[in-house]
Structure 1
Amino acid sequence: MKKHYAITLAVLLFFGFQAKAQDPVIQNIIKEAEENSQLKYLGHELLDGIGPRLVGSPQMQQAHEWAVAQFQEWGIEARSEQWGEWRGWDRGITHIDMVEPWVRSLSGMQLAWSPSSPAGGASGEVIILPQLGDDETFEDWLPNVKGKYVMISAPQITGRPDYNWEEFATEESFEKMKEERGVVEAEWQVRVRRTGKGRRELPQALEEAGALGIITSYWSRGFGANKIFSAYTKTVPTVDLSLEDYGLLFRLAESGKKPIINLNAQSKETGVVPTFNTIAEIKGTEKPDEYVMLSAHFDSWDGGTGATDNGTGTILMMEVMRILKEVYPNPKRTILVGLWGSEEQGLNGSRAFVEDHPEMMPKIQALFNQDNGTGRVVNISGQGFVDSYEYLGRWMSKVPSTITREIETDFPGNPGGGGSDYASFVAAGVPAFSLSSLNWSYFNYTWHTNLDTYDKIVFEDVKNNAILTAIMVYMASEEDEMVSKERRIPINRRTGEPTDWPAMRSPTRKGGIEQ
Structure 2
Amino acid sequence: MKSLLHPPRLANKRTPKLLLLSLLFSAQVGLAQTKDPIVEAIVKEATQNSQLESLGHELMDQIGPRLVGSPQMQQANDWAVAKYQGWGISARNEKWGEWRGWQRGISHIDLVHPRLRSLEGMQLAWSPSTKGKGVTAETIILADVADSVAFQKWLPTVKGKLVLISMPQPTGRPDYNWQEFATAASFEKMKAERTAQTEAWRQRMSKTGYTARTLPVALEKAGAAGIVMSNWSAGFGVNKIFSAYTKKIPTVDLSLEDYGLVYRLTASGQKPKLAIQAESKERGVVPTYNTIAEIKGTQKPDEYVILSAHFDSWDGATGATDNGTGTLVMMEAMRILKKIYPNPKRTILVGHWGSEEQGLNGSRAFVEDHPEIVQKIQAVFNQDNGTGRVVNLSGSGFLHSYEYLNRWLAKVPAEIRNQIQTNFPGMPGGGGSDHASFVAAGAPAFSLSSLGWSYGNYTWHTNRDTYDKIAFDDVRSNAILTAILAYMASEDPTTTSREKSVLPVNGRTGQPGTWPSQNKPTRRGGLD
TM-score by length of 1: 0.97
Tell me which residue corresponds to 1:17: 32
Contact kept? 1:12, 1:393, Cα under 8 Å: no
Q: How many residues align?
A: 512
Which secondary structure state, in structure 2, belongs to the residue aligned with residue 419 of structure 1? Answer: coil
The aligned residue for residue 306 of structure 2 is 293
* Alpha-carbon RMSD: 1.7
- Using the TM superposition, give the Cα deviation of residue 249 of structure 1 relative to its aligned residue in structure 2, in angstroms: 0.3
- Cα-to-partner distance string for 1:387-431 (whole Å, 9 max, x where unaligned): 111111011010110011111000111111110000000111111
Q: Structure 2 vs 1, CA of residues 419 and 289 (structure 1 numbering), >3 Å: closer, same or farther?
A: same
C-alpha deviations, 1:193-240, integer Å up to 9, x for none? 222212222111111121110001000001011000010111000000
The code of the aligned residue for 1:417 comes to G
User: Do structure 1's residue 279 and structure 2's residue 292 form an aligned pair?
Assistant: yes
Q: CA deviation at 1:138?
A: 1.5
Does structure 1 retain, via aligned residues, the 8 Å contact 2:506–2:513?
A: no
Q: Secondary structure at the match of 1:179?
A: helix
Name the counterpart of 1:167: 180
CA distance in structure 1 between the aligned counterparts of 2:64 and 2:26, rounded to whole angstroms: 45
1:503 aligns with 2:517: yes
Alignment partner of 1:206 out of 201, 212, 219:
219
Paired letter, 1:441: S
Partner residue in 2 for 1:320: 333
Q: 1:48-86: per-residue Cα shift (whole Å, max 9, x none)? A: 010000000010000000000000000000001101000
Q: What is the CA-CA distance between 1:497 and the residue it aligns to?
A: 6.0
Name the structure 2 match of 1:239.
252
For the pair 1:38 / 2:41, whether they are aligned, the reply is no
| Alpha-carbon distance in 2 for matches of 1:169, 1:333 | 58
Report which stretch shifted further, 204-213 or 336-345: 204-213
Partner of 1:119: 132
Offset at residue 511 of structure 1 (A): 0.4
> Pick from 266, 282, 286: which aligns with 2:279?
266
Alpha-carbon distance between aligned partners in 2 of 1:12 and 1:372, rounded to the nearest angstrom: 33
d(CA) in 2 for partners of 1:442 and 1:28? 32
Structure 1 gap segments, 5+ residues each: none
Instruction: Kindly indicate whether residue 441 of structure 2 is the aligned counterpart of residue 439 of structure 1.
Output: no
Residues of 2 paired with 1:181 and 1:109: CA distance? 26
**Could you tell me which residue of structure 1 aligns to residue 16 of structure 2?**
none
Is there any run of 5+ residues in structure 2 with no aligned partner, and where?
9-20
Deviation at 1:120, TM superposition (A): 2.2
Give 2:335's aligned amino acid. R
Instruction: State whether residues 148 and 208 of structure 2, in contact with CA within 8 Å, keep that contact through their aligned partners in structure 1.
Output: no
SS in 2 for 1:290: strand
- Between 214-223 and 113-122, the greater mean CA deviation after superposition: 113-122
1:130 and 1:357, CA in 2 relative to 1: closer, same or farther beyond 3 A? same
- Cα gap change, 1:189 to 1:359, in 2 (>3 Å): same
- Kindly provide the CA deviation profile for residues 316-351 of structure 1, in whole angstroms up to 9, marking residues without a partner as x: 100000000000001111100000000000000000
SS of the equivalent of 1:278 reads strand
CA distance in 2, matches of 1:488, 1:187: 45
**For 1:143 and 1:433, how far apart are their aligned partners in 2?**
52
Which segment drifts farther, 387-396 or 125-134? 125-134
- Counterpart AA for 1:325: K
Q: Name the structure 2 match of 1:106.
A: 119
* C-alpha displacement of 1:12: 6.0
Specify the SS of the correspondent of 2:132: coil
One-letter code of the match for 2:30?
Answer: F
Match of 1:372 in 2: 385
Measured in 2, the distance between the counterparts of 1:122 and 1:428 equals 49
- Change in Cα spacing, 1:492 to 1:449, as seen in structure 2 (3 Å) is farther
3-state SS, counterpart of residue 89 of structure 1: strand
Q: Does 1:464 align with 2:477?
A: yes
Give the secondary-structure state (helix, strand or coil) at the position aligned to 2:105: strand
Shift of residue 314, structure 1, vs aligned partner: 0.4
Q: CA deviation at 1:460?
A: 0.2
Q: 1:137 to 1:497 in 2, by over 3 A?
A: closer
> Do 1:489 and 1:501's aligned partners in 2 also have CA atoms closer than 8 Å?
no
Amino acid at match of 1:5: P
Letter in 1 for 2:120: S
In structure 2, C-alpha distance between the alignment counterparts of 1:131 and 1:497, rounded to whole Å: 41
